[in-house]
Each structure stands twice: as C-alpha cells, then as structure tokens.
DNA sequence: TGTACATCAGTGAACGCGCGTTCACTGATGTAC
DNA sequence: TGTACATCAGTGAACGCGCGTTCACTGATGTAC
C-alpha cells in the first residue's frame, strides 16, 4: 500500500512537465524542448505527456506563456520600485526606463526564458473556440503602453509622438536584448552591457521627450 | 561522348550548393537548411557536398556570410542615393536614416535572408589557422560606424553621445526588423510597417541629435 | 460500509521518418614524359 | 601526339540516431447504489 517506489499515478504530471520545460529551456534553449527529453526528465513514458497536451507545439506554447508571465513580472517589479516622485513627469519617464531595463535584464539573466517568451508572440495563443479578445495583448506590451500613457498624461511626451511610440520603444529594448544574448554583444561582460543598455535607454527617452 | 544527360562532374557544385542554400533559406528559413535537402535540390548525392564543405555547420556559415554581404549591399545602395547636400550635417543624418531603413527593408523583403545574415553574427566566421583580424567586423557594422563618424564630423552628433552610439542604433533597427518579421508586427501590411519604421528612426535620430 | 463499474492516467512496444555522416568504390580529368 | 598514372569529384549503400506520435493495454481512482 505504501509507495516507496514511484506510484503509478504521478500526481500532477502536467505541472511537472511545465516545470521541466522551463528548466530545460533555461539551460539549453527553446530548440531543446522535446517530448522524449521532457518525459525523460520527469521520469515518465513519452506518451504520458499526450494525456495533458495535444502535441509538442501545444506544450511549447503553454510553457512560453509562463515565460512571458515571468518576463512581465520581472518588469513590473522593477517599475514598481520607482518612488512616487514629486514630479509626475520624472516618475513617468523613470517608469519607462524601468520597463526597458527590466526587459533587457530579464533577457540577460535568462536568455533561454527570454527566447521562450518571444515564442508566445510569434504564435498567437490559439484562443480556441471560446474565442475572446481577453488576453490577446501580452502583458509586457500592456506595461509599455501604461508607461507611455503615464508619460503622456504627465506631459513628458509631446502629443504628436504618442501614437505608435510603443514600437520604437519595443524595438530598442528587444533589439538590444537580441544583440546581447545572441548577437555581436554576446559574451560581453555584464557591467559593460548594463552601461550600454542604459545608454540606449537614454537615447530612446531623449528621442521621445526632447 | 556528348552528354544529353547530366555529366558525372557537376562543374561547380560548390557554387550551386550555395545558390541552392540561398533559395532554400529565402523560402523556408534557416532551419530548413540541411545536407540532404540541399543536395536533393542540386540533383546530387548527399555526400557529394562533403567534397566542398566539412559539415553542415560550415556550409551554413558560408551561405550566411553571403547573406550578410547582400544585406550590406542593400544598405549601401540606399545610403549612396543620399545626395551631397549643401549641409553636411543634414546629409550625415539622412545617411544614418538610410542605413536604418535599408536594414529594415532588407529584413522585410527577405526575412529568410535576414535570419541567415544574423547567423553569421551569432557564430564568429572561424577565421581558421591563418588567423587574421581582416574582416572580423561585419560590413553592416562598418557602414553604421561610418554614418555615425560622418555625423560626428559634421557636428550633428553631440560629442558626449558619440561613444557606443552604434549599439542604440543597431538595437533599434534590429529590434524593429525582428518585431516585424517574427514578432507582434508580423503580418501587418507593408505601408503601415514602413510608416512605423520611419517613426522609429525619427525617434532614434531625435534622441541622438537633440 | 461494501461492492460493481466507469473513468482516468499511466505503461510498453512499435511505426515511420529524415537526418548527418562515413565507407568503399568508380567515372572523369589532367598532367608528365 | 600518344599513353600511363595520379588526382579529383562524384556514386551507392549503409549506419546509427533521436524524434513525434499512435496502438492496445493495465493499474489506480472515484462514484452510485
């Protein structure tokens, strides 16, 4: 009755697979995610996974969504640290800066998770037949829009620059993250990367506000 | 004596493989490059490729370098169109804009080639035993540095912003290219993308020069 | 409280596939004399 | 100009691998009465 060996039922295989997927992607990258490798890591037969996910693609999208949530969480933590300054314009600008540096630092700290989070934007979440525009806009995108709105309301952003400003912002931080994790900046030491990231954000903010 | 069928010797298999690799990457992306698929496309036995390339990786790097050259060529064409203006500062700024829009337009026109060109920056070209710093800096990078130098000399770039300004520029254009080819902007129509790209370059240039 | 039975969550084995790469070989080319 | 021979550039077949996925099945769980 007592099971000193592994029980026949795992308990929560679905959660265990997602956790294994996160660890695997963290260490080996998104391309290392495979049904056999994952089930091996969890100690279960390959086809057991098909009780919980339709196929590999559906699994990867699920884990990617989790990675995206973690990215959003990291960014939000950093944005919330900005104190409620006397000058709301300064605060709004600092929150945009926190968004950008948070985004970049997440990518530098865990390139595999960053790559994974990007997957969830390559492929729409496949909202299924109950189709709803519930969470079509990914959280990081909303955080960015929020920061820009705040700048707008505080008068830190010239009105003619507000529309579509998010794409210039996203391009800068996303591009920097790519250059640093898998481009020509790969391998540069962290302090230098942090300085370059701050400089890039300075240039961006200057371009938006000047 | 006369060969109406394919001759035993191909003629220039190496060049044919590279050409096939470019077409394949253009249509199906970098991940579609494989020895068997390539040799099939050329009409030759899989192992024939090993007369010309040590392995798949070496082949991909070779084709990636060619894609990088094409990217550089596209950018240069666009930069050279900028007329020699009366005001050298204006000209320098316009050349930087041409760099950015050229980079982005290459990516939009041929996402597969853009992806391929990026591969050559992920992996150093493996200069071999004759080691030389001959072409370690990739051409697009040099074009960007040239444009910034020109701005610097024309007084269009505050001196304190010159150092490392290339990374903010590269991040913006590279990030925009990624967002547009494989990120949330994928699928947007070309006119709208062009407008967003111009807006992003406006913001960048404003940030550098203001 | 106990038992029959539907349902769930795994197992074990296998299918079929395409891949990169290697081996021994052969048809064609070019060069020395 | 002709011939022997080294070299080159392909062929044909196979190895071994790991993958995603499916099939039929079984051990465990929970629920109705």
CA B10 to chain CA centroid, Å, is 30
Residue of chain A nearest B137, judged by CA positions: A184
> B129 CA to C2 C1', in Å?
81
The predicted structure's pLDDT at residue A85: 80
Q: Which residues 178-207 in chain A show a CB within 8 A of chain B?
A: 178-179, 182-186, 196, 199-200, 202-207
| Among candidates A167, A185, A206 on the partner chain, residue whose Cβ is nearest the Cβ of B179 | A167
- Model confidence band, residue A4 (pLDDT cutoffs 50, 70, 90): very low
Which pLDDT belongs to residue A21? 98
What's the pLDDT at B10? 77
Tokens describing residue B196 = 């967003």
- Helix (H) or strand (E) segment spanning residue A11: none
Nucleotides of D under 7 A from a protein CB: 9-14, 18-24, 27-29
d(CA A122, CA B186): 8
Residues B25, B115: Cα–Cα separation, whole Å: 9
Rounded average pLDDT over A53-78: 97
The predicted-structure confidence for B139-179, as pLDDT tens digits, reads as follows 999 999 999 999 999 999 999 999 999 999 999 999 999 99
d(CA A42, CA B56): 33
**Residue A20 main-chain phi, psi, to 5 deg:** -65, -40
Q: How many angstroms separate the Cα of B36 from the Cα of each of A146, B44, B48, B58, B62? A: 50, 9, 10, 15, 17
Residues of A in contact with B122 (CB under 8 A): 182-183, 186
Q: Which chain A residues contact residue B199 at CB under 8 A?
A: 164-165, 167-168
Taking CB atoms and an 8 Å limit, are A168 and B208 in contact across chains? no
Give the pLDDT confidence of B41-99 residue by residue, as tens digits: 999 999 999 999 999 999 999 999 999 999 999 999 999 999 998 899 999 999 999 99
State yes or no: pLDDT of A173 exceeds 90: yes
Cross-chain Cβ contact B182/A141 below 8 Å: no
Q: What is the pLDDT of residue A137?
A: 61
Helix (H) or strand (E) holding A166: helix A165-182
* Greater pLDDT, A190 or B3: A190
Q: Give yes or no for a contact between B205 and A206, defined as CB atoms under 8 angstroms apart.
A: no
Q: Tokens 């912003």 belong to which residue?
A: B161
Q: For residue range A118-161, list pLDDT tens digits in order.
A: 999 987 655 444 444 445 566 999 999 999 999 999 999 999 99
The string over A161-170, giving b where at least 16 C-beta atoms fall within 10 Å of a residue's C-beta and e elsewhere, is beeebbbbbb
End-to-end CA separation in angstroms for chain A:
72
Between CA B141 and C1' D20 the distance (Å) reads: 41
- DSSP result, B90-136: HHHHHHHHHHHHHHHHHHHH-HHHHHHHHHHHHS-----TT---TT-
Which residues, at least 6 apart from B186, have a Cβ–Cβ distance to it below 8 Å? A122, B179, B180
Q: How many helices (H) and strands (E) does chain B have?
A: 9, 0
Phi, psi at residue A177, to the nearest 5°?
A: -60, -40
User: Closest residue of B to A198, CA-based?
Assistant: B168
Asked whether the predicted pLDDT for residue A95 surpasses 60, the reply is: yes
On the 0-12 / 13-18 / 19+ scale of CB atoms within 10 A, B71 is buried
Residue numbers in A near B204 (CB within 8 A) = 168, 172, 203-204, 207
Is the confidence at residue B4, as pLDDT, over 50? no
The whole-number Å distance from A5's CA to C1's C1' is 31
CA-based nearest distance B2→chain A, Å = 49
């Amino acid at each position: 009755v007592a099971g000193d060996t592994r029980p026949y039922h795992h308990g929560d295989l679905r959660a265990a697979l997602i956790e294994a997927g996160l660890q695997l992607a963290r260490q080996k990258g998104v391309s290392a995610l495979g049904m056999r490798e994952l089930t091996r890591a969890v100690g279960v037969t390959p086809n057991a996974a098909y009780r919980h996910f339709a196929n590999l693609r559906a699994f990867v999208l699920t884990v990617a969504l989790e990675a995206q949530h973690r990215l959003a969480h990291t960014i939000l933590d950093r944005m919330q640290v900005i104190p409620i300054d006397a000058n709301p314009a300064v605060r709004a600008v600092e929150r945009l800066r926190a968004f950008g540096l948070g985004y970049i630092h997440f990518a530098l700290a865990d390139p595999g998770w960053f790559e994974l989070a990007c997957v969830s934007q390559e492929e729409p979440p496949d909202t299924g037949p109950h189709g709803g525009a519930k969470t079509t806009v990914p959280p990081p995108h909303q955080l960015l829009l929020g920061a820009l709105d705040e700048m707008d309301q505080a008068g830190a952003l010239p009105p003619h620059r507000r529309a579509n400003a998010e794409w210039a912002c996203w391009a800068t931080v996303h591009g920097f993250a790519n250059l640093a994790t898998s481009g020509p900046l790969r391998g540069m030491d962290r302090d230098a990367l942090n300085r370059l990231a701050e400089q890039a954000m300075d240039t961006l903010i200057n371009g938006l506000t000047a």
